[in-house]
Structure formats: C-alpha cells, structure tokens
Amino acid sequence: MNNSATTRRISKIAIEYNGNDKGTAECIYSNNLLSTTPEERFEEMKIVAERNPNVKKWALTGYISPPREIGDRLPNEELKELALKSLKDVGLTENNQVVLDVHNSTKQKHIHFIVNRIDVYGKCTVKSANIGKRFGESVRNVCKEMNLKTDVEIGKEKKQQMLKVLQNCLKVSRNFDDLVDYMRRCGYRVTLSQNVKEGISGIRIVRLKDINDHTQRQYHPGYKLSEITSKLKIKDIKEILNRNAENHQSAIFSQSNPQTNEIKHPEKSALREIESAMKEMLKPSYTPAADDELLRKRKRRR
C-alpha cells in the first residue's frame, strides 16, 4: 500500500485539510483530545508540544493509501487498525495525541494521520531518523499480519501485467503512436520522454484507473521502463517497431505483386502441399470388386 510519513511543524491548516476533504472527510479516531474543531485541536496539540521545546518538528503527518480494489472493500475499522498498529511500531503510545481521518473524495479511499510526537508528559516518543523508511516497513509488516497485500507485492504484480501488455502491443505496433494507442485501449497511459540527441529516450506506463486527477499532490504515477523490466530497453523497442514497419511494407508490396507473394510467403505453397497430401490420405484404399457389388444387389432384392 502506498504510504508516507514525515516530521514537521504544523499549523491549524494541516488539521483543517485532514478533517475536510471537500466536506467528505470522516474522523474515525482521536486520542487525548477533548475538542472537535481543527482550531481547538491545534491549540491542544501545541500546548502539549511546548512541554518539550527542544523538538521543533513536533508533528508526524502522513497517509496510508490502499489500492482501489482493496480500499473499496476495506472497512474503516480495519483501516484504523492498520494505521494504529503501523504508528505504534514507530513510537506511538497511549499518551500521544493522534487524529485519523478517512478521505473518500478521490478515486482511492485513504487515511490521513496527525500524531503529536510529544506525549502528555513531554517525552518525544517518535524518533525522526529514517521515519519514512521505518513507517513503510511497519505498514508492510502489519499488512502481512492482516493478510493484506503490501505495496511491494502490489507493485510487483502491476509491473508484471504492464510488461505482458507491453509485449503484446509491441507485436502489432509499427511506431510509438501505435504503441501509445494500443496501450491506451488496454487500459494504460504511456508517457514518452525525449531529447534532441536520441529522440524518444524513455517511457513511463501507468494504469488509467490508477490516475488520480483530483489529487493536489504533484507526482509521477506509474513506472519507468527500467523499473518494469531490465530485459527490454528503449533501443529494443525502437528496433521492434522499425522491424514491424518494414514487415508491413513488405507485406503490402507482396500483395501487389503475385510472383513476389509466392517468393515471400513460401508457407502458402507448403500449406497447399500438405492439403493435397491429406486429400490423398483420405481417399479410400479399398475398391469394391464386381462380385461384391453383385452380392449387395442380391441382398437388396431379398
């Protein structure tokens, strides 16, 4: 599952954003907070954070975003369990303030969290070192515990499927425009990158249903060709497309020249020879004798 965690100093705007989501956000859990409005919650958290003035970035913020096929079926209670267990692995305790909000306005249901790293006794329980990496590992471990696919497993499956579709589309494409069009028909968007020296220098592939037009975050969804496979390079794709284009031109020329067609397609004459041989094999090997024919006539008379 996609996830993110970072330490920072927040304002009430962060709490407002998590608790709004275009009016569709749902607060499914809070701890050590008496108020319900973003302004009041921010003031509560700030008061506790000031008990440890040495920690400037006193908030841990982030999200967990299951893929759509999982998130649509995942109840809020299980999403809350996933978030809390993952946060506890990186230092969350019962003495920390925390707010969990579920967002549903985008294509993918996901959960946002804000944690006060400073507990009510003034102790910093969530260390900042490698927090993004540690949180990601924690989410993967909890996913396995809950029998949910991890972000690594999901990514691996997506890449395998992308490669399979790409290879099939390459069989019928004669140029990059064809490739982009065939991939789109199969449910994928192909973005081409190019430079002056090499022309097309790379591609990025993403499933159309994974594209989130509503998100405000600027990121590059999908995978680069080098992330999908190490066995297929952009130069290999160019060679395949050029070969397909040449074969197509040869086929057109052959169709306009019957004699050339026989030369270019020897398999056709081979098929005719096989068909002739099969006909010969299917012919009856026993020819009725005259006596046999006379015997059948006598039987019919009886």
Instruction: Reduce the DSSP state of residue 34 to 3 states and report it.
Output: coil
Q: What angle do CA 280, 284, 287 make, to 5 degrees?
A: 130
Domains identified in the chain and CATH numbers = 2-149 (3.30.930.30), 154-242 (no CATH), 246-282 (no CATH)
Amino acid at 242: N
Residues 101 and 76: their CA atoms lie apart, in Å, by: 10
Residues 242 and 147: their CA atoms lie apart, in Å, by: 46
| Joined tokens for residue 85 | 């267990």
- pLDDT recorded at residue 239: 96
Q: Quick count: other Cβ atoms within 10 Å of Cβ 284? A: 6
Instruction: Reduce the DSSP state of residue 36 to 3 states and report it.
Output: coil
The pLDDT profile of the chain, 302 residues, written as one tens digit per residue, is 789 999 999 999 999 988 887 778 899 999 999 999 999 999 999 999 999 999 999 999 999 998 877 888 899 999 999 999 999 999 999 999 999 999 987 778 899 999 999 999 999 999 999 999 999 999 999 999 999 988 888 889 999 999 999 999 999 999 999 999 999 999 999 999 999 888 999 999 999 988 866 544 545 778 999 999 999 999 999 999 999 999 988 888 777 665 554 444 443 443 344 344 334 434 444 344 445 455 455 555 55
- pLDDT recorded at residue 300: 56
Spatial CA neighbour of 135 closest among 202, 48, 63, 46 = 63
Residues 259 and 13: their CA atoms lie apart, in Å, by: 77
Q: Which residues contact 21 (CB under 8 A, 6 or more apart)?
A: 101, 103, 104, 105
**Which strand (E) or helix (H) includes residue 183?**
helix 176-185
Residues 286 and 253: their CA atoms lie apart, in Å, by: 48
Question: Measured between alpha carbons, how far apart are the two ends of the chain, in Å?
Answer: 86
- pLDDT recorded at residue 149: 87
- pLDDT recorded at residue 277: 39
